[in-house]
Amino acid sequence: MLPLVFKTYECIKALETYNYDGCIDRTSGLHGLGAAIGRSLDDLFLVISLESLRPCAGFLGFAVNMIHLDNSSLFHVTAAGNGLRETLFYNLFSRLQVYRTRAEMVLARPFIGFGVDDRSGKGDFLCEGAVSLDGGIIRSPGVFSLGSREVVDVRFLKTSATLEMSQKYIETEKQIKEMRCEKEKLEEDMKRALALLKDAKSNFEIKKQDFVKFLALSSLYATQHTSSFLTHNITFLAASASCSKR
């Protein structure tokens, strides 16, 4: 079963209610709807609340996606078509988080932990770290880099015309992705509409055939009833005529 996605947790609460013993009330919510149509929900199903998925305060993104590559470096690709970002920088910074300030980074410590690397197929653990724009560094869970900021070897590119231009490219790319998502959504809506139309046509054909059969049976019944009525009247008239002759 596909997960159900809602904006708020209040919407999720309406899907399932519980009695005083903590057991599921199968007469209300989604369970009640399933019972009403003869399809009970006996298995687990996933529900996602979007308001519970917001990022931590000050989280700017992952470092691998924030690295600015010079135009000359964009042409360094492998035979598979992967560039520096997908190879070198992904290997170095794929788990490194970036925060606006050191204070916000510290508050987000529960979300800076160990990740799992599935690329090798062995599920190896990777240490996630974090940096902040004001020089804070968390090398791994529970391991901090302290001391003078002057010796911290972290540099951030200053705003320049090239960077502003790259931001425009990023914004354009974002708009293209949104348009593609909208297109895919419309295509999915169209598929669902066509499926509903197909079901409606199928149901119409079934009802039509049933109605034609009903008309045929009604016509047969009417014919038989009329024939019986005429036979009865003819017999009655014949009997009456015979009695009159006598």
Domain ranges of the chain: 1-54, 57-157
**CA trace torsion 153, 102, 67, 152 (10° rounding):** 0
Contact present, 23 and 68 (Cβ < 8 Å): no
Asked if residue 189 has pLDDT above 80, the reply is yes
Contact present, 133 and 149 (Cβ < 8 Å): no
User: Binning pLDDT at 50, 70 and 90, where does residue 170 land?
Assistant: confident
pLDDT in tens, 102-161: 889 888 888 887 655 555 555 444 557 888 888 888 877 677 777 666 665 555 555 454
**What CATH number is given for 57-157 in this structure?**
3.30.70.1620
Tokens at residue 110, please?
Answer: 């529960």
Asked if residue 239 has pLDDT above 50, the reply is yes
Query: What is the distance between the alpha carbons of residues 92 and 89, in angstroms, rounded to a whole number?
Result: 5
Buried b (16+ CB within 10 A) or exposed e, 72-86: eeeeeeeeeeebbee
pLDDT in tens, 137-147: 887 767 777 76
